[in-house]
Amino acid sequence: MDDLNKKWDALVLKIERQFDDEINLKAILYLIGVQELNMGIKRFGREEKVDILHVAVCKILTPFGFYKFDRVDEDGWPHWTELKALKNLDDAKQGLLMKEAILKYLD
């Protein structure tokens, strides 16, 4: 776990330097979600921003067996099928899983 935290801290520092601002897990998930949507530069509404976070979570947790890609709808949004419930993990384990999955995704 110590190695995971070191890698995570290095990633956060790298992204913060790139954006010249503080960043957290949620912001990194948002960046991943926007990247996965591949819709270019546009403004997203509040509900769309929540959906973007969901896109990121599904994408990064697919290799861990939590989701399976299903399809892209007519509006260009990807959809996944849940295979294992994240809610079965406590908050600490979810946080560690997210960090590990993000590091794997960006590797």
pLDDT score at 42: 87
For the purposes of burial, counting CB atoms within 10 Å of the CB of 57, is it exposed (0-12), middle (13-18) or buried (19 or more)? buried
Distance of CA 71 to the CA centre of its chain: 18
Backbone angles phi, psi at 69, to 5 degrees: -60, 135
Nearest of 71, 61, 69 to residue 93 by alpha carbon: 61
pLDDT score at 101: 98
pLDDT score at 72: 97
Q: What is the mean pLDDT of each run of 10 residues along the chain (107 residues)?
A: 90 94 95 93 93 98 98 96 93 95 96
- The separation between the first and the last C-alpha atoms of the chain, rounded to the nearest angstrom, is 17
pLDDT score at 45: 94
pLDDT score at 21: 93
